[in-house]
């Protein structure tokens, strides 16, 4: 399993994470609950099984369903996407 930490989020339910070998990616929450700083776990963080992934929120030991929005991004591109998708009024970073 590969664990990643939620590094940013908007008040519109869009999240930013980083995978060391892939760069930054943006995802939306389909079901469940995720907070800034939570650790998510999955066997892979790619779209090879589709854009919707069932992952585990390790902090709360519960399953959550996410949708990959964009991946393999630089930090600046990921921050821009987080600020743009859904036109949030607030964005938070660790």
pLDDT at residue 14 in the model: 96
For the residues of 43-78, what is the DSSP string, one character each?
A: S--SSBTBSEEEEEETTTTEEEEEEEEEEEE-HHHH
The domain segmentation of the chain, as residue ranges, is: 2-93
Q: What's the distance, CA 4 to chain centroid?
A: 9
**pLDDT confidence tier of residue 94, bands split at 50, 70 and 90:** very high
User: How many other C-beta atoms can be found within 10 angstroms of the C-beta atom of residue 62?
Assistant: 11
Alpha carbon of residue 68 to chain centroid: 7
DSSP 8-state class, residue 80: H
Mean pLDDT of 3-25: 93
Query: pLDDT tens for residues 17-65?
Result: 998 888 999 999 999 999 999 999 988 777 777 899 999 999 999 999 9
Question: What is the C-alpha to C-alpha distance for residues 20 and 4, in angstroms, rounded to an integer?
Answer: 9
| pLDDT, average across residues 8-14 | 95
At residue 85, φ and ψ (nearest 5 deg) are -65, 120
């Amino acid at each position: 399993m590969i664990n990643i930490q939620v590094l940013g989020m908007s008040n519109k339910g869009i999240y930013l994470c980083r995978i060391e070998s892939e760069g930054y990616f943006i995802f939306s929450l389909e079901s469940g609950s995720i907070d800034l700083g939570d650790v998510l776990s999955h066997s892979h963080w790619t779209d090879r099984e589709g854009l919707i992934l069932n992952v585990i929120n390790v902090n709360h030991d519960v399953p959550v369903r996410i949708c990959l929005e964009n991946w393999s991004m630089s930090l600046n591109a990921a921050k821009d996407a987080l600020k743009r998708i859904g036109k949030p009024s607030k964005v938070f970073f660790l």
